Each structure stands twice: as structure tokens, then as C-alpha cells.
Amino acid sequence: MHEAARAHEELAGEGLEFLLGYEPGMEWANFLDRTERLRHGIALSETQVPETFLVAEIGGQLVGRVSIRHHLNPALRLVGGHIGYSVRPGFRRNGFAGQILDLALIEARNLGICEALLTCDADNLASRRLIESHDGVPEVLNSQETVTKPKLRYWITT
């Protein structure tokens, strides 16, 4: 099994997606082509925006990943934000998430994003601490905006 597919399975057990848009059994070349088209904004659905997908690797092992949305649509403005990241369970608590976020903020700036929105589940203390350690400024949701699971929203100057 490909290392990326293993990472995908690990995070799927937590209700997360490592390889965005990957389906079990999908040809790797097809996934890479889809990811490249997404980065360039080619053949997007109404709900998609251009997105850069990067992975973090150490010694040939995938540690984590980050997705950087080039701009926000209404759904991303409410829940997803500009940057989404995850670290595989076996690599957590080693500072990798912070390194991934550091590099994602640089890439976001290179993409012209001056302020990046990051969101996390309200009960995800590790993600909350990470975002706050990167000078994330909390934003309060408008009372009319609702999500199924409470989210925290932060803005970070890139």
C-alpha cells in the first residue's frame, strides 16, 4: 500500500481526510492529476476554489499535510478557512504541526493571502493552542451563522 494511502486510512479512523478527494483504489496518477488541476483552478465545481496541497515528509515517511485555499467561498468563510492541516497520529506532539503551519503561512503569503482564516473544532485544544501560538486573532461567529459542530475561527497575518 502506498504511504499516502496508509496516512489516509489512519486519519479516516478519526473522521479526517488526509488526501482530499482520494477514493480507496483510486489510481495515484489520477489523484495527482486531480490535485494539480485543483491547484490551477481547472474544472472546479461550484463549491471548490483553487487549492494548493502539500505534504510534509521525513525520511520517506509522510508526517502530515496542508491544504491552502487560494480564496474563500461562503462555506470556507464559515467553516474551512484558508488553511487546513493534519498530522498523522504517530507523528503528533513532535512540533510537526507548527512547522507545517509556519511553511503554510509563507506559501499563503506567496499566493497573495495577507490574512489567513484558520478554523478548528472548539474541542480541539491542540489545534487551538497551535493557532494561538501563531498569533491567531479569534473571531466571533455571527449569531445567524450555524455549524453542526462548534468551530473556533482565527485570523493570522501572513
Is 106's pLDDT higher than 70?
Answer: yes
Q: Which structural domain, as residue segments, surrounds residue 151?
A: 3-157
How many CB atoms neighbour CB 34 within 10 A?
Answer: 18
pLDDT digits (tens, 9 = 90+) for 119-131: 998 889 999 999 9
Closest CA to 67 of 46, 47, 81, 88: 81
pLDDT-based confidence at residue 147 (cuts at 50, 70, 90): low
The answer to whether the CB of 116 falls within 8 A of the CB of 84 is: no
CATH number at residue 143: 3.40.630.30
Number of domains observed in the structure of the chain: 1
Is 146's pLDDT higher than 70?
Answer: no
Whole-angstrom CA distances from 3 to 26, 76, 141 are 14, 28, 38
What average pLDDT score do residues 10-24 get? 82
**What is residue 141's predicted lDDT score, i.e. its pLDDT?**
61
pLDDT-based confidence at residue 145 (cuts at 50, 70, 90): low
pLDDT greater at residue 6 or residue 134: 134
